[in-house]
Structure 1
């Protein structure tokens, strides 16, 4: 009966008002449903407040419907006020849903679940036959094994496969002619060009076959399930590319590794940048020692495990960052202010020379995106090389953090958020990223109170340079040997920040009013630790020299005798290459000459050969000639590098009509004894396209 009376009254009401009331009620209801869905996606963010807001809104919807009917039946003029309020509330809910969903979708896109991997079959440029082809044995490697197996079938590749555990040994064998080709990621130039032997890999090689497949991201592995409201560690890895964004499974060269610990309780971070040449056991290569940047060839999991083994600290999360993304991010922030220590020039984000060079003067200045990237990349003219570049990268990160507080509009915020999401890949899940809300809220509240205490504790790993023989390279290679005490000090600082250790109480403190105070850099101290010893060359020496050397070392030696034109008693062979770490040697063999009566140097029919102990003149010769000579050096105890002529170099030489890939300058004069050389650089001309 009551329902019938209600329907009769409803029929008598103004049709326009009834229709408008229903439409606004439906709009409000649908808007509230979308808003509820958006609010529920914000897992872990102010859960109690979100529930209260939703309960209040649904209660308001119920009251709105009930009160609207009363006004419709009794006081029709007042219902227009209700209509007006609905026209305000519903758009607010729609706008709120839009921005919540926009934020969530951007954050959800940070974790790349599927990526495109491209594998190529690579050979030296002059190769025409591919009888022996190198392939990585790891069946989980997309570009070294999975895609190559499909490529072999689809391209009907007939060569014999040669198995390898690591890429360095494989590419070294290809350069030495032991294999004809190899399977590797299409980013091979980025992976290997930082090594002296492969500096001109793009000019030396060609792609025979190529295949691209979209696969599940093999790096998308969860190492931790905890939220970010407790102390955590994250490993930042640089991906050096010429394009914006991380849209494919690009391999990286491991040149930029930064381990960060962050404590959300104290808003303190420790930043540990690991030099690329640091010599450490590589987790995915049977813990054989090598430069830490070589761990990148085994993928993200190999890098993470290698750094964990080095520090003894569990890494909770990783983040791969595309360097080129720094350009847009810094520009979005309106630039960053840094103190540039020296005047220098560097390639732009597309690695172009000529008119595209980025040149900076010395001094404090505000840098745009291209300038900030050049500052973070440059190392060749820095007094401390890669170590100083690491410091510059820390300076850019710190400057960017300082600029974040200057964001003035919501669109600026979203532009920065989109650029960040586009240029990173991480194993952080969306709920874990959202849990950073609490940290952001604390920073914002403290900033409003002018009590922001966000601090960054810098570290510096000290050690010494050591050029040594590395078997996988089959040559002497520059390495950085860290001081154990320096690493221990850095690790202890990180453990304190992670609340795994208690801080040591400093009971004394001294200062000088005449000196400006600067915060202590953890680990940046000289430590009096013994250096690692290298195997010397005994060639041309005698058994007595070997015995004297062995007196203080527990190493066995076996002597062999072999007929040769050298004087009797002179050492002509040794089983370990000079420059090999002595600690890796338990026993070695020495071959001593037994004069056979011949002497080619006095035979008039023997043509005179150039002195192989003296440095040739490479000026005017091609890079290929230099590389052939370099590959013949098996026992050279000095570093070798090739560099493109800079604009200043070309101007100082006063030459015109330069030929591409031709050498016009060398750092050491011709005729210098090779034993007297510590470093050799040749400069060649590269045409700017």
Structure 2
């Protein structure tokens, strides 16, 4: 004990040095050269410093080592909280009856006729049938062409209960704004599906890669299946420090990647899971998408409440229906303005195409803001804003490689925006059956141009 009291500062330096070495091993974001320098300093403190350092220097070294170690542990822990990968996706199925129905719960549905859309996933349908067999036993299951027909059969009394995937509820509300007031829900079932691993890993610090940003706009968990309303490809070339973003309109009419030969709007691919959206775009453009980032776009803009206003470029001067005005050129936007800017399409002749371009500008503004040094002091706020609103198959280790490279060269990124264009048409879709919906048929000229742009940005040479 006497020896320990006499050498207490040396013991503290030893523990502080070991703590720093452990932090350097744990943190995957620190550049190799920094790890080497700090590791050498920690080693010298262990071997030489405990004997040769004067008392004051030992105290200073201990404080510095503990501070650096704490920062390294915290930044790694924070990154792991932001980067989430959900192994499952959840579909919410509601059982809907007319408002004046005597049925109050599913237990009252014995002998009832259930109407289910033929576009419902077969595994989900089998799961629901098994649940009903267990709960009520006696019932009739009718397979109906689509949800619109199913709703009409409910209204006419030909089916007693409409079985509705909740991701399609908004479409029924578009058809009948009084759908919610005319009906009630007597049972809700959640069906979880394990996602297929579709990541195509590359060394993202050394090779170009493609990321799909799939944006949803719903309340609730990020793992809920929902329409993919924002679809932006990011072609990232870490060798040239260039990024190409490509907006693909939600109404793009193309075969679904998970339903061979079935044409639908791109946005509807999200109903069948994010993997379906990835495969649909891969087939459309003839590319491999390495990673995806699925975000709740409303929550993403809440980042701006934490980081402060972002600067966003607007091609046009326009005023939205709620009176918000944007000037042509750069605009400083808070979170509410950025969300309004991202959603607006009626003010533009090109409608959804310009909305997609505007969404890219908002993302660019957020990226530029996040790259500013002041962001590091707001990590906790950023985590609270987006921690439960992001699902991605990019791993922390993958991302750390790119961050290390960025820290090493500190070079600005050159971001180019573009879009896929086409012509408007009215077509039937797989998810909504024979009902004619507004769609955008991709222009072959635009498709060729987009593919050429991707190929150009993916070139390895500087």
What's the TM-score bracket when you normalise by the shorter of the two chains?
A: 0.7 to 0.9
* Aligned match of 1:295: 269
Which of 403, 412, 417 is equivalent to 1:437? 403
Is 1:235 aligned to residue 235 of structure 2?
Answer: no
| Residue matched to 2:306 | 332
Q: Distance in 2 between matches of 1:473 and 1:231?
A: 40
* TM alignment of 1:54-453, pairs within 5 A: 54-65=39-50, 67=51, 82-109=54-81, 110-113=83-86, 117=90, 119-126=92-99, 128=103, 130-134=112-116, 136-139=120-123, 148=128, 151-152=131-132, 155-156=135-136, 158-161=138-141, 169-177=145-153, 180-181=160-161, 183=163, 186-189=166-169, 192=171, 196-197=174-175, 202-203=180-181, 205-211=183-189, 218-219=194-195, 221-229=197-205, 230-242=207-219, 247-338=221-312, 339=314, 341-346=317-322, 359-360=324-325, 362-363=327-328, 365-408=331-374, 410-416=376-382, 419-441=385-407, 444=410, 446=411, 452=412
Counterpart selection for 1:491 from 427, 451, 456: 451
Q: Which secondary structure state, in structure 2, belongs to the residue aligned with residue 275 of structure 1?
A: coil
2:424 corresponding residue in structure 1: 465
Taking only aligned residues, the RMSD between alpha carbons, in angstroms, comes to: 3.3
Q: 2:438 aligns with which of 470, 478, 481?
A: 478
Partner Cα distance (2:288, 2:176) in 1: 34
SS at match of 2:348: coil
Q: Is the 8 A contact 1:236 1:319 kept in 2?
A: yes
Deviation per residue, 1:89-141 (Å, 9 max, x gap)? 223222222222222222223123467846333325346564225384443x6
Decide whether aligned partners of structure 1 residues 327 and 225 sit closer, same or farther in structure 2, where only a CA change above 3 A counts. closer
Q: Counterpart of 1:572? A: none
The separation in 2 between residues aligned to 1:313 and 1:157, in whole angstroms, is 48
Q: CA deviation at 1:269?
A: 1.2
How many pairs does the alignment contain?
441
What's the secondary structure of 2:324's corresponding residue?
Answer: strand
Structure 2 CA distance for aligned equivalents of residues 95 and 159 of structure 1: 66
CA contact under 8 A between 2:91 and 2:225: conserved in structure 1?
no
Indicate the structure with greater helix content: 2
Kindly provide the CA deviation profile for residues 116-170 of structure 1, in whole angstroms up to 9, marking residues without a partner as x: 846333325346564225384443x6xx665x46753674464344568xxxx54
CA separation of 1:157 and 1:106: change in aligned 2, threshold 3 A: farther
Once residues 162 and 401 of structure 2 are traced to their aligned partners in structure 1, the CA distance between those partners, rounded to angstroms, is 44
**Any conservation in 1 of the 2:209–2:235 contact (CA below 8 Å)?**
yes
- The structural deviation recorded for 1:233 is 0.2
- For residue 309 of structure 1, report the CA deviation from its aligned partner: 0.2
Shift of 1:212: 5.2
Distance 1:464 1:305, change over 3 A: same
CA contact 1:345–1:360 (8 Å) conserved in 2: no
Q: Any unmatched runs of 5+ in structure 2?
A: 104-108
Indicate if the aligned counterparts of 1:468 and 1:478 stay in contact, CA closer than 8 A.
yes
Q: Is the 8 A contact 1:170 1:182 kept in 2?
A: no
TM-score (norm 2): 0.83
Deviation of 1:477 (Å): 1.6
List per-residue Cα deviations over 1:246-295 (Å, max 9, x = no partner).
Answer: x4522221121111101011111111111111110112122211111111
Equivalence for 2:106: none
Question: Cα deviation per residue 1:70-104 (whole Å; 9 max; x = unaligned)?
Answer: xxxxxxxxxxx633222222232222222222222
Counterpart-to-counterpart distance in 2, 1:258 and 1:499: 20
Give CA deviations for 1:164-193 in whole Å, capped at 9, x if unaligned: 8xxxx5423421327544555555545x46
In our comparison, the structure showing a higher alpha carbon Rg is 1
Q: TM-score of the superposition, structure 1-length normalised?
A: 0.58
Tell whether the 8 Å contact from 2:94 to 2:189 is kept in structure 1 after alignment: no
2:13 is the counterpart of 1:28: yes
Q: Is the 8 A contact 1:271 1:459 kept in 2?
A: yes
- What SS is found at the alignment partner of 2:54? helix
C-alpha change, 1:137 and 1:220, in structure 2 (3 Å) is closer
Instruction: Name stretches of at least 5 consecutive residues in structure 1 with no aligned partner.
Output: 1-10, 69-80, 347-357, 447-451, 504-689
Question: Quick one: distance in 1 between partners of 2:352 and 2:178?
Answer: 20
